[in-house]
Structure 1
Amino acid sequence: MKDMFSKAISCLAGGLLLATITMAQPRPTPAQLAWQRAELGVVFHYDLHVFDGKKYTQGGNRITPVPDYNIFHPASLDTDQWLQAAKDAGARFAILTVTHETGFALYQSDVNPFCLKAVKWRDGKGDIVADFVASCRKFGIAPGLYIGIRWNAFMGVHDFKVQGDSSRFRSARQAYYNRMCQGMVKELCTRYGPLFEIWFDGGASDPADGAPDVLPVVEKHQPGALFYWNGQRSDARWGGSETGTVGYPCWSSFPYPSMLTARYPRIAENKFELAKHGDKEGKYWLPAMADAPLRGYNGRHEWFWEPGDEHSIYPLADLLAMYEQSVGRNATLILGVTPDTAGLVPEADARCLREFGNAVKERYAHPVTNVQGAGRTLEAAIRPARHINQVMISEDISAGERILSFVVEVKTTGGWRQVYSGTAIGNKHIASFPAVNARAVRLRVTEARGEPNITVFQTYFIQQ
């Protein structure tokens, strides 16, 4: 009796231990969950140098002030047209570069004099942030803002640091710059309603290292926004390249709470291998972002509009491959879109986004099979037998990533056989295999933490 009681206690303790391990898994916050489920967004890059007629050079743009800021004069600026292009692409959120490396702010700032108040355009009363947010809400797209405070050519700020020979000068100017940045963040967080994401260019460093202290401002005024990122907190991670793709597997979990490589140098090792793949044993939830400029083809990599550069727009086939290697690998894809000097997304870019959105819809509109459910095995019959060559799988990530490995099997005239095996699924996994004429298809989870909840298990036949 005593032995039986001991075994019962042991089993109970084991069960409690399992539950504890399951509960200890990192899980997404509501903002992270919404961001991952959005899957696709766009970022509109707009700044003074779009109007200077010169090729953009990052190094020069960071240190050389634009001589005449009144070159900013988009005659036909229409943020509705921007957001229509985003919606056509299938984007669920959009981000605007409020400030970038020139330091110029695209709104009516009371703390930064280098803003739309200073130009003749719209008699100094324009507010592109307000226009952008209103257009986002009109088209049902969640608005986000990109705030560049790491570089400011106008104020001589390089990598968050005010430049100058005198330490007294630098100290006073640094304190002023930090207060200005914090004030800008407060303005942007309090004037335009709820924001989906707040993105700091290259991160916002860390106040412990002398950088502006922006995290408390965002936490106070935009607690529901995805915060990307500073040395104290990262709600998402850069996926290791600007190709719009991540590696596989790509886990949402990560070993560090921030992407600050100065503090966590392992992140940058082996060409950001850790950022590309994540860590299935990581204790922090830091899902991956895959970003790329739409004009990133043919050896180009243009985040901002430049004349005569339409040949650098990615072909549709490349964008579809990018989608499968980002969204289809548990990352959120963000495409860079470039309004021109007129203030419009060029027709060639808008057409490409429209074709891309239509192609994604068409490709995944009619699955051969479609099942879901909890447990380690899901099966679907195919009557009559049909060819399949692609699978889409999602798990309920609100409880964390439970599936650690799985196989896909098909039933043919010769019985069941494996056609694919994988590890990370997360929000979405898309995988292709040689076409097979199948009578049934089966997903078997071979390793998991707790019971898997599979929200999507679909198969397709994709014409190559």
Structure 2
Amino acid sequence: MRKGLQLTLLLIIVILRYAMAQNEINIPTPTQAQLDWQNAELVAVFHYDLHVFDGKPYNQAKNRITPIPDYNIFNPTNLDTDQWVKAAKDAGFKIAILTATHETGFALYQSKVNPYSLKALDWRDGKGDIVADFVKSCRKYGIAPGIYIGIRWNSFYGVHDFMVQGDNEFAKNRQAHYNKMCEEMVRELCSNYGDLAIVWFDGGAHGPEKGGADVLSIFEKYQPNGIFYHNTQRADIRWGGSESGTVPYPSWGTFPFPYSHSTNQQVVLKNNFQLLKEGDPNGNYFMPAMSDAPLRGYNGGHEWFWEPDNEKYIFPLEHLMNMYYNSVGHNTTLIMGLTPDAEGLLPQPDVQRLKELGDEIKRRFSTPLAETSGKGKKLTLKLKERSQINHIVLQEDIAKGERVREFVLEGKTKNGWQTLFEGSSIGHKFIHKFDEVEVDAVKLRISESKGEPQIKNFSVYNVEQKSSSK
């Protein structure tokens, strides 16, 4: 009888272990590129194009359909990509992206296939290569470089929303020429500048199935370890549903179908991009959201490109910190738009604000009062002494997938355990800010998970509040 009971118990244990293993197998996990992307947390995107030099306010709709009359207005007399990238480094950015081409179609490098490029300029005798300068600066400062390629709009070639206008043979020939040129530009950019953290196609990139260029196969050949964003064939990350630099809570890193807002438009557009903002905890595809915003997006501004006398639009420090809490602290990567000026420098007020941002993030989060990590559904973090706390940071080991579905944070006060927060998503990072409470321990209780929870970081802080910069 005893032997039979032992065999039965052994069988039950085997079945339970098998069930747990099967459950964990079904948890979507990130590629190394996606893991690097979320670990970066902060990403800069530098927008630079011909119209920075025209003395007129940036008008996206007009720029998409109006060629620049004289491309030799491009003349940055003091170009210094080291200065750009150092400013990003000082803010804590780990990845930096440059617009190699944007809506004018002008290319900021030495292209052999696109005559509308730096080769055409008087500047630097037609030998300048800002992409090369930028990538070199990134490597100098230990930042991973990325490239942004705009092929959806090209006012010089007359391409609107991917397509040459018209349906006659001439238009078809021009479309074939444009598609081929785009493919070869992508080949140049993906093969001539070393490893890239991300190749970002502005507004997407039609694949051959929609009459566009075949860019994905080129990317996969030359940049197999990077982030591809995006077309109807593939998207490694997703837009977070606004250009506010924030997402709501929760924002899961998983998604129900593979190609973000390139596909299933009716579902994606519903309820003001709710699915893009929130993701889907039951989604079978790992596709974390990004939160993007320009640094000059305050007080009614939304400046992706530099214009003179627009310093009033630079976000105050406290607004940037709020953005940080509601992007990085909500399991997304924050992409911030930076605007080099017509001289070729990032303006000093922008540089100063970025330095303040980096310093403030370090001030708040570099010295936890206590921290721990571990597996399982309950972790208790004991402080050395009873202390005031007002911030808690949680991180899952997302290399093993997002496993937590529901959790409770409790603090042990002099009156016993008190609930501090009840939540759902943790993901790469969850930051909870609250009024000060005095505790000698904090407990994380995970009431629901998919597989065994893997907590990479559980830390508490007492952040002294300071007045914001103006």
Scaled to the shorter chain, the TM-score interval is over 0.9
Please state how far the C-alpha of 1:13 moved relative to its aligned partner: 3.7
Structure 2 counterpart of 1:299: 300
Q: Is residue 238–residue 261 contact of structure 2 (8 Å, CA) maintained in 1?
A: no
Please, which moves more after superposition, 428-437 or 139-148? 428-437
Instruction: Find the residue that maps to 1:267 and give its secondary structure.
Output: helix
Structure 2 counterpart of 1:245: 246
Structure 2 counterpart of 1:127: 129
Please state how far the C-alpha of 1:377 moved relative to its aligned partner: 1.6
Structure 2 counterpart of 1:376: 377
Please state how far the C-alpha of 1:182 moved relative to its aligned partner: 0.4
Structure 2 counterpart of 1:329: 330
TM-score (normalizing by structure 1): 0.97
Please state how far the C-alpha of 1:11 moved relative to its aligned partner: 5.4
Map Cα deviations across residues 227-266 of structure 1 (whole Å, 9 max, x no partner): 1111011000000001100111010000111124454421
Which residue of 24, 28, 31 maps to 2:30? 28
1-side partners of 2:431 and 2:340: how far apart?
Answer: 32
2-side partners of 1:236 and 1:205: how far apart?
Answer: 17
1-side partners of 2:362 and 2:440: how far apart?
Answer: 26
1-side partners of 2:223 and 2:262: how far apart?
Answer: 26
Please state how far the C-alpha of 1:118 moved relative to its aligned partner: 0.6
2-side partners of 1:450 and 1:214: how far apart?
Answer: 38
Q: Is residue 99–residue 147 contact of structure 2 (8 Å, CA) maintained in 1?
A: yes
2-side partners of 1:453 and 1:10: how far apart?
Answer: 24
1-side partners of 2:25 and 2:311: how far apart?
Answer: 50
Are 2:72 and 1:70 equivalent residues in the alignment?
yes
Q: Which runs of 5+ in 2 are unaligned?
A: 466-470
Question: Which residue type is aligned with residue 137 of structure 2?
Answer: S
Q: In structure 2, do the counterparts of structure 1 residues 179 and 3 end up closer, same or farther at CA, with 3 Å as the change threshold?
A: farther
1-side partners of 2:301 and 2:455: how far apart?
Answer: 40
Structure 1 counterpart of 2:309: 308
Please state how far the C-alpha of 1:287 moved relative to its aligned partner: 0.4
Instruction: Find the residue that maps to 1:12 and give its secondary structure.
Output: helix
1-side partners of 2:206 and 2:460: how far apart?
Answer: 44
Question: Which residue type is aligned with residue 330 of structure 2?
Answer: R
Please state how far the C-alpha of 1:373 moved relative to its aligned partner: 1.5
Map Cα deviations across residues 108-162 of structure 1 (whole Å, 9 max, x no partner): 0011110000110000000000000000000000000000000000000011001
Map Cα deviations across residues 397-446 of structure 1 (whole Å, 9 max, x no partner): 00100111111111111111111111111110001122111121111111
Equivalent residues in 2 for 1:141-156 (5 A)?
A: 141-156=143-158
Instruction: Find the residue that maps to 2:275 and give its secondary structure.
Output: helix
1-side partners of 2:389 and 2:339: how far apart?
Answer: 38
1-side partners of 2:291 and 2:326: how far apart?
Answer: 9
Please, which moves more after superposition, 4-13 or 390-399? 4-13
Q: Is residue 236–residue 286 contact of structure 1 (8 Å, CA) maintained in 2?
A: yes
1-side partners of 2:271 and 2:368: how far apart?
Answer: 38
TM-score (normalizing by structure 2): 0.96
2-side partners of 1:151 and 1:448: how far apart?
Answer: 44
1-side partners of 2:412 and 2:355: how far apart?
Answer: 38
Q: Is residue 420–residue 433 contact of structure 1 (8 Å, CA) maintained in 2?
A: no
Please state how far the C-alpha of 1:9 moved relative to its aligned partner: 4.8
Which residue of 80, 83, 97 maps to 2:82? 80
Structure 2 counterpart of 1:259: 260
Question: Which residue type is aligned with residue 122 of structure 1?
Answer: R
Please state how far the C-alpha of 1:385 moved relative to its aligned partner: 1.1
Percent identity at matched positions?
Answer: 55
Map Cα deviations across residues 48-102 of structure 1 (whole Å, 9 max, x no partner): 0000000111100100000000000000000000011010110001000000000
Are 2:359 and 1:361 equivalent residues in the alignment?
no
Which residue of 142, 160, 166 maps to 2:162? 160
Structure 1 counterpart of 2:227: 226
User: Would you identify which runs of 4 or more consecutive aligned residues in structure 1 move more than 3 Å?
Assistant: 1-15, 260-264
Which residue of 107, 116, 131 maps to 1:114? 116
2-side partners of 1:113 and 1:7: how far apart?
Answer: 74
Q: Is residue 232–residue 263 contact of structure 2 (8 Å, CA) maintained in 1?
A: no
Please state how far the C-alpha of 1:210 moved relative to its aligned partner: 0.7
Instruction: Find the residue that maps to 1:63 and give its secondary structure.
Output: coil
Instruction: Find the residue that maps to 1:445 and give its secondary structure.
Output: strand
Please state how far the C-alpha of 1:384 moved relative to its aligned partner: 2.5
Please state how far the C-alpha of 1:390 moved relative to its aligned partner: 1.1
2-side partners of 1:264 and 1:11: how far apart?
Answer: 45
Q: Which runs of 5+ in 1 are unaligned?
A: none
Q: Is residue 205–residue 260 contact of structure 1 (8 Å, CA) maintained in 2?
A: no
Map Cα deviations across residues 248-285 of structure 1 (whole Å, 9 max, x no partner): 10100001111244544211111111000100000000
Question: Which residue type is aligned with residue 111 of structure 2?
Answer: S
CA root-mean-square deviation: 1.5
Please state how far the C-alpha of 1:207 moved relative to its aligned partner: 2.1
2-side partners of 1:233 and 1:24: how far apart?
Answer: 21
1-side partners of 2:20 and 2:360: how far apart?
Answer: 44
Q: Is residue 253–residue 284 contact of structure 1 (8 Å, CA) maintained in 2?
A: yes
Question: Which residue type is aligned with residue 37 of structure 1?
Answer: N
Q: Is residue 261–residue 268 contact of structure 1 (8 Å, CA) maintained in 2?
A: no
Question: Which residue type is aligned with residue 105 of structure 2?
Answer: G
1-side partners of 2:15 and 2:213: how far apart?
Answer: 48
Q: Is residue 106–residue 116 contact of structure 1 (8 Å, CA) maintained in 2?
A: yes
Are 2:207 and 1:206 equivalent residues in the alignment?
yes
Are 2:444 and 1:422 equivalent residues in the alignment?
no
Question: Which residue type is aligned with residue 331 of structure 1?
Answer: T
Q: Is residue 255–residue 279 contact of structure 1 (8 Å, CA) maintained in 2?
A: yes
Please state how far the C-alpha of 1:389 moved relative to its aligned partner: 1.3
Q: Is residue 27–residue 397 contact of structure 1 (8 Å, CA) maintained in 2?
A: yes
Q: In structure 2, do the counterparts of structure 1 residues 197 and 399 end up closer, same or farther at CA, with 3 Å as the change threshold?
A: same
Question: Which residue type is aligned with residue 98 of structure 1?
Answer: A
Please state how far the C-alpha of 1:202 moved relative to its aligned partner: 1.0
1-side partners of 2:380 and 2:410: how far apart?
Answer: 9
